[in-house]
A and B are shown apart, each in its own frame.
Chain A
Amino acid sequence: MNKLERWKKKFHSLSKAQKIEFVLAMALTIAIIVGVPVYAWFVSSVRMEVLTKVKAPVTLDIKAGHKEDIEYLVLGEVDIEYIEKQSTPKRYVFCVNTGRVGVQYDIQLAHTTNIPFTYTLYKATEESSAEGADVIYLASDETTKYYYKKNGSALSMTTINADSENAAKYGRTLALQSGTVYDKTYDAAANDGVPEIYAVPLYSQVTVTAEYADFDYYILELGLDTNTARKFEKWNMADNNKETDVIYLSASFHSQ
Protein backbone atom coordinates (compact mmCIF):
# COMPACT_ATOMS: atom_id res chain seq x y z
CA MET A 1 0.00 0.00 0.00
CA ASN A 2 2.94 2.16 0.72
CA LYS A 3 4.38 1.83 -2.77
CA LEU A 4 1.02 2.49 -4.35
CA GLU A 5 0.62 5.63 -2.33
CA ARG A 6 4.06 6.71 -3.38
CA TRP A 7 3.26 6.13 -7.06
CA LYS A 8 -0.02 7.94 -6.70
CA LYS A 9 1.81 10.82 -5.14
CA LYS A 10 4.42 10.86 -7.88
CA PHE A 11 1.75 10.77 -10.53
CA HIS A 12 -0.10 13.66 -8.99
CA SER A 13 3.11 15.62 -8.72
CA LEU A 14 3.44 15.68 -12.49
CA SER A 15 2.13 18.59 -14.43
CA LYS A 16 -1.12 18.16 -16.28
CA ALA A 17 0.60 17.88 -19.64
CA GLN A 18 3.00 15.29 -18.34
CA LYS A 19 0.14 13.29 -16.90
CA ILE A 20 -1.58 13.21 -20.23
CA GLU A 21 1.65 12.22 -21.99
CA PHE A 22 2.10 9.36 -19.56
CA VAL A 23 -1.43 8.06 -20.04
CA LEU A 24 -1.17 8.29 -23.79
CA ALA A 25 2.12 6.40 -23.88
CA MET A 26 0.67 3.61 -21.75
CA ALA A 27 -2.41 3.37 -23.98
CA LEU A 28 -0.34 3.16 -27.17
CA THR A 29 1.85 0.45 -25.70
CA ILE A 30 -1.16 -1.60 -24.76
CA ALA A 31 -2.62 -1.10 -28.22
CA ILE A 32 0.52 -2.53 -29.82
CA ILE A 33 0.64 -5.46 -27.42
CA VAL A 34 -2.94 -6.36 -28.26
CA GLY A 35 -2.56 -5.74 -31.97
CA VAL A 36 0.28 -8.16 -32.70
CA PRO A 37 -1.31 -11.44 -31.59
CA VAL A 38 -4.52 -10.46 -33.35
CA TYR A 39 -2.62 -10.30 -36.62
CA ALA A 40 -1.09 -13.72 -36.08
CA TRP A 41 -4.58 -15.04 -35.51
CA PHE A 42 -5.41 -14.28 -39.14
CA VAL A 43 -2.81 -16.62 -40.59
CA SER A 44 -4.51 -19.99 -40.08
CA SER A 45 -2.28 -22.04 -42.33
CA VAL A 46 0.62 -24.38 -41.77
CA ARG A 47 3.68 -24.65 -43.94
CA MET A 48 6.06 -27.58 -43.89
CA GLU A 49 8.96 -28.69 -46.00
CA VAL A 50 11.63 -31.35 -46.40
CA LEU A 51 14.69 -31.84 -48.59
CA THR A 52 15.71 -34.90 -50.54
CA LYS A 53 18.54 -35.64 -52.92
CA VAL A 54 18.44 -36.52 -56.61
CA LYS A 55 20.71 -39.45 -57.39
CA ALA A 56 23.09 -38.62 -60.23
CA PRO A 57 22.83 -40.94 -63.23
CA VAL A 58 25.65 -43.41 -63.79
CA THR A 59 27.44 -43.00 -67.07
CA LEU A 60 28.69 -45.63 -69.46
CA ASP A 61 29.77 -44.40 -72.85
CA ILE A 62 31.49 -45.75 -75.93
CA LYS A 63 33.11 -43.18 -78.14
CA ALA A 64 35.44 -43.03 -81.11
CA GLY A 65 39.07 -41.92 -81.06
CA HIS A 66 39.95 -38.89 -78.96
CA LYS A 67 36.61 -39.07 -77.13
CA GLU A 68 34.72 -38.06 -80.23
CA ASP A 69 31.16 -39.13 -80.75
CA ILE A 70 30.66 -42.75 -81.69
CA GLU A 71 29.45 -41.77 -85.15
CA TYR A 72 33.07 -41.05 -86.05
CA LEU A 73 34.09 -44.66 -85.45
CA VAL A 74 34.15 -45.76 -89.07
CA LEU A 75 35.18 -49.27 -89.95
CA GLY A 76 34.80 -48.73 -93.66
CA GLU A 77 36.36 -50.95 -96.26
CA VAL A 78 39.05 -53.46 -95.56
CA ASP A 79 41.43 -54.34 -98.35
CA ILE A 80 42.29 -57.95 -97.63
CA GLU A 81 45.05 -58.10 -100.18
CA TYR A 82 46.64 -55.10 -98.52
CA ILE A 83 46.55 -56.88 -95.20
CA GLU A 84 48.12 -59.91 -96.76
CA LYS A 85 50.87 -58.08 -98.60
CA GLN A 86 51.74 -55.70 -95.79
CA SER A 87 51.17 -58.29 -93.08
CA THR A 88 49.57 -55.44 -91.18
CA PRO A 89 46.16 -55.97 -89.70
CA LYS A 90 43.51 -53.24 -89.90
CA ARG A 91 43.19 -51.41 -86.63
CA TYR A 92 40.54 -49.14 -85.10
CA VAL A 93 40.55 -47.14 -81.91
CA PHE A 94 37.59 -46.59 -79.60
CA CYS A 95 37.16 -45.74 -75.95
CA VAL A 96 34.89 -46.54 -73.01
CA ASN A 97 34.03 -44.10 -70.23
CA THR A 98 32.54 -44.99 -66.86
CA GLY A 99 33.26 -41.79 -64.97
CA ARG A 100 34.97 -43.70 -62.16
CA VAL A 101 38.22 -45.59 -61.76
CA GLY A 102 37.89 -49.18 -60.68
CA VAL A 103 34.42 -49.82 -62.09
CA GLN A 104 34.12 -53.18 -63.77
CA TYR A 105 32.50 -53.39 -67.17
CA ASP A 106 32.13 -55.96 -69.91
CA ILE A 107 33.09 -55.25 -73.49
CA GLN A 108 31.25 -57.36 -75.97
CA LEU A 109 32.24 -57.85 -79.57
CA ALA A 110 29.67 -59.43 -81.81
CA HIS A 111 30.37 -60.02 -85.49
CA THR A 112 29.00 -61.96 -88.39
CA THR A 113 31.30 -64.47 -90.02
CA ASN A 114 31.16 -63.86 -93.77
CA ILE A 115 34.83 -62.93 -93.95
CA PRO A 116 37.57 -64.94 -92.24
CA PHE A 117 38.83 -62.09 -90.12
CA THR A 118 40.50 -62.57 -86.80
CA TYR A 119 39.36 -60.15 -84.12
CA THR A 120 41.65 -59.08 -81.32
CA LEU A 121 41.24 -56.43 -78.69
CA TYR A 122 44.05 -54.52 -77.01
CA LYS A 123 44.19 -51.80 -74.42
CA ALA A 124 45.67 -48.64 -75.88
CA THR A 125 47.14 -45.31 -74.90
CA GLU A 126 47.01 -42.00 -76.67
CA GLU A 127 50.46 -40.90 -77.81
CA SER A 128 51.74 -37.52 -78.84
CA SER A 129 53.65 -38.55 -81.96
CA ALA A 130 53.25 -40.80 -84.95
CA GLU A 131 56.30 -42.78 -83.99
CA GLY A 132 55.40 -46.35 -83.15
CA ALA A 133 51.72 -45.59 -83.34
CA ASP A 134 49.47 -48.49 -84.18
CA VAL A 135 46.50 -46.37 -85.12
CA ILE A 136 46.42 -42.90 -86.60
CA TYR A 137 42.98 -41.48 -85.95
CA LEU A 138 41.75 -38.66 -88.17
CA ALA A 139 39.51 -36.43 -86.10
CA SER A 140 36.08 -35.27 -87.19
CA ASP A 141 37.52 -31.97 -88.41
CA GLU A 142 39.32 -34.06 -91.05
CA THR A 143 42.62 -32.39 -90.27
CA THR A 144 43.89 -33.20 -86.78
CA LYS A 145 45.48 -36.58 -86.23
CA TYR A 146 45.76 -38.49 -82.98
CA TYR A 147 48.03 -41.43 -82.35
CA TYR A 148 47.35 -44.58 -80.39
CA LYS A 149 49.59 -47.40 -79.39
CA LYS A 150 48.75 -50.87 -78.22
CA ASN A 151 49.38 -51.29 -74.54
CA GLY A 152 50.10 -54.81 -73.42
CA SER A 153 49.08 -58.14 -74.87
CA ALA A 154 45.75 -59.01 -76.40
CA LEU A 155 42.77 -59.11 -74.04
CA SER A 156 41.58 -62.65 -73.61
CA MET A 157 38.03 -62.71 -74.79
CA THR A 158 35.62 -65.53 -74.21
CA THR A 159 33.50 -66.50 -77.17
CA ILE A 160 30.26 -67.75 -75.83
CA ASN A 161 28.79 -69.42 -78.89
CA ALA A 162 31.69 -70.77 -80.94
CA ASP A 163 31.22 -73.80 -83.13
CA SER A 164 34.80 -74.94 -82.70
CA GLU A 165 34.16 -78.45 -83.92
CA ASN A 166 33.51 -77.26 -87.44
CA ALA A 167 36.25 -74.67 -87.59
CA ALA A 168 38.38 -76.68 -89.99
CA LYS A 169 35.43 -77.27 -92.27
CA TYR A 170 34.69 -73.60 -92.79
CA GLY A 171 38.20 -72.22 -92.37
CA ARG A 172 37.09 -70.20 -89.41
CA THR A 173 35.00 -70.47 -86.30
CA LEU A 174 31.34 -69.91 -86.96
CA ALA A 175 28.54 -69.45 -84.51
CA LEU A 176 26.70 -72.38 -83.15
CA GLN A 177 23.52 -72.89 -85.06
CA SER A 178 20.44 -73.31 -83.06
CA GLY A 179 16.92 -72.62 -84.28
CA THR A 180 15.67 -72.30 -80.74
CA VAL A 181 18.25 -69.72 -79.80
CA TYR A 182 17.93 -67.56 -82.87
CA ASP A 183 14.35 -67.93 -84.01
CA LYS A 184 13.20 -64.74 -82.26
CA THR A 185 15.88 -62.63 -83.89
CA TYR A 186 15.83 -64.13 -87.34
CA ASP A 187 12.24 -65.41 -87.50
CA ALA A 188 13.32 -68.89 -88.62
CA ALA A 189 9.75 -69.76 -89.58
CA ALA A 190 9.50 -66.94 -92.12
CA ASN A 191 12.89 -67.73 -93.56
CA ASP A 192 12.21 -71.41 -94.14
CA GLY A 193 14.41 -72.69 -91.43
CA VAL A 194 17.44 -71.56 -89.55
CA PRO A 195 19.33 -68.43 -90.55
CA GLU A 196 22.33 -68.57 -92.83
CA ILE A 197 25.29 -69.77 -90.86
CA TYR A 198 27.44 -66.75 -91.64
CA ALA A 199 24.69 -64.35 -90.54
CA VAL A 200 24.58 -65.57 -86.97
CA PRO A 201 26.96 -63.42 -84.91
CA LEU A 202 29.75 -64.75 -82.77
CA TYR A 203 29.69 -63.16 -79.31
CA SER A 204 32.97 -62.55 -77.51
CA GLN A 205 33.20 -60.88 -74.13
CA VAL A 206 35.83 -59.68 -71.74
CA THR A 207 35.53 -58.07 -68.32
CA VAL A 208 37.73 -55.03 -67.76
CA THR A 209 38.35 -52.73 -64.82
CA ALA A 210 38.29 -49.02 -65.60
CA GLU A 211 41.77 -47.59 -65.42
CA TYR A 212 40.84 -44.01 -65.92
CA ALA A 213 37.93 -42.00 -64.58
CA ASP A 214 37.94 -40.40 -68.00
CA PHE A 215 38.23 -42.74 -70.96
CA ASP A 216 39.90 -46.13 -71.43
CA TYR A 217 41.19 -46.53 -74.98
CA TYR A 218 41.10 -49.76 -76.92
CA ILE A 219 42.34 -50.92 -80.31
CA LEU A 220 40.35 -53.43 -82.29
CA GLU A 221 42.52 -55.35 -84.67
CA LEU A 222 41.13 -57.08 -87.72
CA GLY A 223 43.56 -59.59 -89.09
CA LEU A 224 43.35 -62.22 -91.73
CA ASP A 225 44.19 -65.78 -91.07
CA THR A 226 45.83 -65.99 -94.51
CA ASN A 227 46.88 -69.60 -94.37
CA THR A 228 43.42 -70.80 -93.57
CA ALA A 229 41.84 -68.42 -96.03
CA ARG A 230 44.00 -69.58 -98.88
CA LYS A 231 43.66 -73.21 -98.08
CA PHE A 232 39.96 -73.08 -97.53
CA GLU A 233 38.53 -73.93 -100.93
CA LYS A 234 34.99 -72.98 -100.06
CA TRP A 235 35.86 -69.38 -99.45
CA ASN A 236 37.02 -67.86 -102.71
CA MET A 237 38.51 -64.44 -102.25
CA ALA A 238 37.59 -63.25 -105.73
CA ASP A 239 34.00 -64.37 -105.40
CA ASN A 240 33.67 -62.79 -102.01
CA ASN A 241 35.38 -59.51 -102.63
CA LYS A 242 32.26 -57.47 -101.89
CA GLU A 243 31.35 -59.49 -98.85
CA THR A 244 30.28 -57.58 -95.74
CA ASP A 245 30.37 -58.33 -92.08
CA VAL A 246 28.52 -56.55 -89.33
CA ILE A 247 30.41 -55.80 -86.15
CA TYR A 248 28.82 -54.71 -82.85
CA LEU A 249 30.76 -53.21 -80.01
CA SER A 250 29.02 -52.75 -76.69
CA ALA A 251 29.90 -52.11 -73.08
CA SER A 252 27.84 -52.84 -69.99
CA PHE A 253 28.40 -52.76 -66.28
CA HIS A 254 29.61 -56.05 -64.99
CA SER A 255 27.11 -57.77 -62.73
CA GLN A 256 28.67 -60.15 -60.23
Chain B
Amino acid sequence: MAEKLGLRFQGRVWKFGDNISTDLMMPGHLYSRMLPWEEIAKHSMAANRPGWAEQVRRGDIIIARRNFGCGSSRPAPRILKALGITVVVAESMSRLFFRNAVNVGFPVLICAGAYDAFEEGDVAEVDAETGQVRNLTRGTAFQGEALAPDTPPYEILKAGGLDTYLKDVIARMKKGTWRPA
Protein backbone atom coordinates (compact mmCIF):
# COMPACT_ATOMS: atom_id res chain seq x y z
CA MET B 1 0.00 0.00 0.00
CA ALA B 2 1.47 3.27 -1.08
CA GLU B 3 2.02 6.11 1.33
CA LYS B 4 -0.89 8.57 1.59
CA LEU B 5 -0.32 11.83 -0.23
CA GLY B 6 -2.67 13.98 1.82
CA LEU B 7 -4.38 15.33 -1.27
CA ARG B 8 -7.90 15.72 0.08
CA PHE B 9 -9.35 19.19 -0.33
CA GLN B 10 -12.60 20.89 0.58
CA GLY B 11 -13.58 24.13 -1.03
CA ARG B 12 -15.94 26.37 -2.91
CA VAL B 13 -16.46 25.45 -6.56
CA TRP B 14 -15.87 27.61 -9.65
CA LYS B 15 -17.15 26.12 -12.89
CA PHE B 16 -15.46 26.49 -16.25
CA GLY B 17 -16.68 25.01 -19.56
CA ASP B 18 -14.87 23.44 -22.53
CA ASN B 19 -11.47 24.28 -24.03
CA ILE B 20 -10.17 26.58 -21.29
CA SER B 21 -6.77 27.33 -22.84
CA THR B 22 -3.55 28.18 -21.07
CA ASP B 23 -3.69 31.48 -23.01
CA LEU B 24 -6.72 32.35 -20.88
CA MET B 25 -4.95 31.41 -17.64
CA MET B 26 -1.69 33.14 -18.55
CA PRO B 27 -2.19 35.77 -21.27
CA GLY B 28 0.58 35.98 -23.89
CA HIS B 29 0.49 39.77 -24.03
CA LEU B 30 1.90 39.87 -20.49
CA TYR B 31 4.80 37.59 -21.33
CA SER B 32 7.27 40.24 -22.42
CA ARG B 33 7.18 41.73 -18.91
CA MET B 34 8.18 38.37 -17.38
CA LEU B 35 6.14 39.15 -14.25
CA PRO B 36 6.13 37.02 -11.08
CA TRP B 37 3.43 34.31 -11.02
CA GLU B 38 1.37 36.24 -8.45
CA GLU B 39 1.23 39.29 -10.73
CA ILE B 40 0.22 37.28 -13.81
CA ALA B 41 -2.40 35.53 -11.68
CA LYS B 42 -4.26 38.82 -11.25
CA HIS B 43 -5.02 38.67 -15.00
CA SER B 44 -5.93 35.00 -15.14
CA MET B 45 -9.17 34.34 -17.10
CA ALA B 46 -9.52 38.10 -17.71
CA ALA B 47 -10.52 37.41 -21.33
CA ASN B 48 -13.30 34.90 -20.64
CA ARG B 49 -14.30 35.95 -17.15
CA PRO B 50 -13.24 39.51 -16.24
CA GLY B 51 -12.92 40.10 -12.49
CA TRP B 52 -12.76 36.40 -11.62
CA ALA B 53 -9.19 36.43 -10.32
CA GLU B 54 -10.13 39.00 -7.64
CA GLN B 55 -12.97 36.84 -6.37
CA VAL B 56 -10.95 33.64 -5.92
CA ARG B 57 -10.21 32.70 -2.34
CA ARG B 58 -7.46 30.43 -1.09
CA GLY B 59 -8.81 26.87 -1.01
CA ASP B 60 -11.23 27.25 -3.94
CA ILE B 61 -11.64 24.41 -6.42
CA ILE B 62 -12.13 24.49 -10.23
CA ILE B 63 -14.48 22.01 -11.89
CA ALA B 64 -14.28 22.16 -15.68
CA ARG B 65 -15.69 20.27 -18.60
CA ARG B 66 -13.69 19.08 -21.65
CA ASN B 67 -10.10 19.69 -22.76
CA PHE B 68 -9.03 21.83 -19.80
CA GLY B 69 -5.63 23.51 -20.26
CA CYS B 70 -5.46 23.06 -24.03
CA GLY B 71 -2.91 24.90 -26.14
CA SER B 72 0.41 26.35 -25.14
CA SER B 73 2.87 24.55 -22.85
CA ARG B 74 3.22 27.67 -20.69
CA PRO B 75 3.33 26.84 -16.97
CA ALA B 76 -0.29 27.76 -16.27
CA PRO B 77 -0.75 25.46 -13.23
CA ARG B 78 1.62 27.79 -11.35
CA ILE B 79 -0.84 30.61 -11.99
CA LEU B 80 -3.85 28.73 -10.60
CA LYS B 81 -1.73 27.64 -7.65
CA ALA B 82 -0.67 31.26 -7.02
CA LEU B 83 -4.35 32.22 -6.93
CA GLY B 84 -4.92 29.68 -4.16
CA ILE B 85 -6.82 27.06 -6.20
CA THR B 86 -6.09 23.71 -4.54
CA VAL B 87 -7.19 21.23 -7.21
CA VAL B 88 -8.70 21.09 -10.71
CA VAL B 89 -11.28 18.47 -11.63
CA ALA B 90 -12.14 18.14 -15.33
CA GLU B 91 -13.92 15.73 -17.65
CA SER B 92 -10.81 15.71 -19.81
CA MET B 93 -7.53 17.57 -19.70
CA SER B 94 -4.62 18.48 -21.97
CA ARG B 95 -1.63 16.22 -21.36
CA LEU B 96 0.67 19.25 -21.19
CA PHE B 97 -1.43 20.86 -18.49
CA PHE B 98 -1.54 17.53 -16.62
CA ARG B 99 2.24 17.12 -16.70
CA ASN B 100 2.95 20.73 -15.79
CA ALA B 101 0.53 20.43 -12.87
CA VAL B 102 2.11 17.26 -11.48
CA ASN B 103 5.55 18.81 -11.86
CA VAL B 104 4.70 21.79 -9.66
CA GLY B 105 2.93 19.60 -7.11
CA PHE B 106 -0.51 20.83 -8.15
CA PRO B 107 -3.07 18.02 -8.02
CA VAL B 108 -5.51 17.52 -10.89
CA LEU B 109 -8.16 14.89 -11.40
CA ILE B 110 -10.02 13.60 -14.43
CA CYS B 111 -13.57 12.73 -13.43
CA ALA B 112 -16.51 12.02 -15.71
CA GLY B 113 -19.88 13.34 -14.60
CA ALA B 114 -18.59 15.81 -12.04
CA TYR B 115 -19.23 18.92 -14.11
CA ASP B 116 -22.99 18.51 -14.39
CA ALA B 117 -23.29 17.57 -10.72
CA PHE B 118 -22.09 20.91 -9.38
CA GLU B 119 -23.53 24.40 -9.34
CA GLU B 120 -21.08 27.20 -8.90
CA GLY B 121 -20.59 27.96 -5.22
CA ASP B 122 -21.33 24.39 -4.09
CA VAL B 123 -18.81 22.91 -1.71
CA ALA B 124 -16.74 20.05 -3.09
CA GLU B 125 -14.55 17.52 -1.39
CA VAL B 126 -11.92 16.15 -3.74
CA ASP B 127 -9.42 13.43 -2.94
CA ALA B 128 -6.92 13.56 -5.78
CA GLU B 129 -5.29 10.36 -4.54
CA THR B 130 -8.31 8.07 -4.35
CA GLY B 131 -10.08 9.92 -7.15
CA GLN B 132 -13.22 10.51 -5.14
CA VAL B 133 -15.23 13.69 -5.75
CA ARG B 134 -18.13 14.58 -3.45
CA ASN B 135 -20.61 17.39 -3.68
CA LEU B 136 -21.10 18.23 0.00
CA THR B 137 -23.87 20.71 -0.81
CA ARG B 138 -25.99 18.15 -2.65
CA GLY B 139 -24.77 14.89 -1.17
CA THR B 140 -23.63 13.26 -4.40
CA ALA B 141 -20.38 11.42 -5.16
CA PHE B 142 -18.33 10.53 -8.22
CA GLN B 143 -15.29 8.40 -8.90
CA GLY B 144 -12.47 9.94 -10.94
CA GLU B 145 -9.32 8.39 -12.36
CA ALA B 146 -6.91 7.97 -9.48
CA LEU B 147 -3.18 8.07 -10.22
CA ALA B 148 -1.72 4.60 -9.94
CA PRO B 149 0.82 4.37 -7.10
CA ASP B 150 4.43 3.66 -8.10
CA THR B 151 4.08 5.49 -11.39
CA PRO B 152 6.41 8.44 -12.05
CA PRO B 153 3.66 11.10 -11.85
CA TYR B 154 2.55 9.71 -8.49
CA GLU B 155 6.13 9.79 -7.21
CA ILE B 156 6.63 13.37 -8.42
CA LEU B 157 3.38 14.54 -6.85
CA LYS B 158 4.39 12.75 -3.65
CA ALA B 159 7.68 14.66 -3.65
CA GLY B 160 5.68 17.90 -3.89
CA GLY B 161 6.90 18.63 -7.42
CA LEU B 162 9.74 18.16 -9.83
CA ASP B 163 12.45 20.30 -8.21
CA THR B 164 12.40 18.23 -5.00
CA TYR B 165 12.13 14.99 -6.96
CA LEU B 166 15.06 16.04 -9.15
CA LYS B 167 17.16 16.98 -6.10
CA ASP B 168 16.87 13.37 -4.95
CA VAL B 169 17.63 12.06 -8.45
CA ILE B 170 20.76 14.26 -8.69
CA ALA B 171 21.98 13.03 -5.30
CA ARG B 172 21.47 9.43 -6.45
CA MET B 173 23.12 10.15 -9.83
CA LYS B 174 26.20 11.41 -7.98
CA LYS B 175 26.32 8.15 -6.00
CA GLY B 176 25.70 6.19 -9.19
CA THR B 177 22.53 4.64 -7.77
CA TRP B 178 19.88 6.29 -9.97
CA ARG B 179 18.49 4.16 -12.72
CA PRO B 180 15.35 5.20 -14.55
CA ALA B 181 12.88 2.55 -13.33
A and B bound?
A: no
